[in-house]
Each structure stands twice: as C-alpha cells, then as structure tokens.
Structure 1
Amino acid sequence: APPPAPTAARPHGPRGSSADLATIVSGISSLTVGAARLMDGGTVKQTMVAMEESSVLVMSISDGSLLGVHATPDCDMSVVAYHMALFVGRAGHVLTPELRSELRKSLESTR
C-alpha cells in the first residue's frame, strides 16, 4: 500500500521531538563506531541511512560531538554531505557543549 498522504495534522519530518532524533543519531554513531572497531576500520567520519521516505546523515565533529541531518528522499545527499562537512570544518570547534546548552535554553525560552 502507498504511504499515507501528508495532512495538515501530520507534521513533516521525524515523529517525536528533536531529543528523539538526537537519540537516533547517537545510536547510529555508537553502532558504526563499534562496527569500525570490530573491522579495524579506523575512525568513522560519516554514516548515511537511506530509507524509503527519508535519509539520515551523521557526521563526527573533532571533539566527539555529532551533527545529524534528517533529509527528504529526493534531496541530493552528496550536496547535503558537502555542506555538512563545510559546517563542521568552519564551525565545529565553536559548538562547545556549553554553547549548545545556551542555544537550547534560548530556543526553549522563545516557545
């Protein structure tokens, strides 16, 4: 059966909160790091999960943080990966846990 058509009541993107997406990104990263260790593959740089209705791309930042993007199935994932790599290269060192916490708090106060 075809997937249900989007409706006004159904939000676009993953179900649940951004915390759920963060949990998924963390789990994907943990799984791929474990696989890399078992296979003597070295450091995991990025992981892509392609699904029928969307994709998730996870990229490591040098301090151990992760950048995850949830994308539509029709986007060009090579372009997404390129821009993620640019972002990580230019801003990854600035995104400290303290700054991310501040940004999260400021977002919550505007809701």
Structure 2
Amino acid sequence: MSSSHRPAASASPDDVDWLLQRFTGETSGVEHAVLVSSDGVCMATSRGLDNERAGDLAAVVSGLQGVAEAVGGLFDLGDTEQVLILMARGRLVIRAISDGSRLAVITTARADLKVVAFQMARVADGVGHALTPAVRRELLSSATDSANT
C-alpha cells in the first residue's frame, strides 16, 4: 500500500470503506476486517463478510477489549493498544483507533504478522482521520438500520 489514506476534501463513510477494501485486498494473508465502535457495534466491514458474522465478530472484539482493559487495570499496564489471538488456522488481531474504536482483522495462519500490524497501523491512522463525528454517526446509523432489517 503506497498511502494509508487518500486525500479528501471532507471525510465520508466511503473513505472508511475504501480503506478497509484496499487493506484487505492488498495485504497478504488478511481475509476480513471490521471497524468496531467503542460500544461494540460493527460500523464497517470488508467485502465477503456478511452482516451477521461481522456483528458477531464485533461482539467478540468488544468482549476481548473488556478483558484486555481489565488486565491493564489490574496490573497498571495502561491502555490496550493491540490484542493478538493465535489459532491453528488463523489469527485475530485487534488494534485501537484514536476515538476508542477498534480495527479487527482475521488473517490466515501464514500471514506475516509484522506486515499485518504495520498495515493495520496505517489503516488505523487513516480511519482515525476519516472517522469524524458526522461519519461516525452515519456509519452507526447505517449499522443500526442493517440490524433492524
């Protein structure tokens, strides 16, 4: 990826979508990505992941974030920056975004986690810039509408 985000006069949900699609399309081993709000709502997802599974993943991410924050509090470790779960056939990587949202990524077992983490940092930076209050409201409204249909 040559740039973490494209220039835009004003941010829109399309910018967030563009970032996720580009990330999943260009980062080897990345299968799915979801943007999860600080309250556990799936705000955006990469193509190929249906709404139900994306919502389930968002709920898992929210729960894991709570566990990570509890550990950080118990041992005075500070804010959670990243969560990594290694499984036999894949990985779950969760990265903090500036507004309290999370970028969650499912990878293959063979994905180079250094490359994935580096590209996730770039996407998180781009999403952080694109996720204005207006864009966040629009994404959450769209997510709520999808859940109610």
Give the TM-score normalised by structure 2. 0.56
Give the unaligned 5+ runs of structure 1: 1-11
Aligned residues: 94
Q: From 75, 86, 106, give the equivalent of 1:70.
A: 106
- Deviation of 1:36 (Å): 0.5
Structure 1 residue aligned with 2:56: 20
Structure 2 residue aligned with 1:60: 96
Q: Which has the higher contact order (CA 8 A, sep 6+)?
A: 2
**Moved beyond 4 Å, runs of 4+:** 102-106
Q: From 29, 36, 40, give the equivalent of 2:72.
A: 36
- Alpha-carbon distance change, 28 to 105 in structure 1, aligned in 2, over 3 angstroms: closer
Give the unaligned 5+ runs of structure 2: 1-47
Question: Rg: which structure is higher?
Answer: 1
Query: Aligned ranges for residues 76-95 of structure 1 at < 5 Å?
Result: 76-95=112-131
Give the TM-score normalised by structure 1. 0.73
Identical counterparts, % of pairs: 31
Contact 1:63 1:93 survives alignment (8 Å): no
Greater percentage in strand: 2
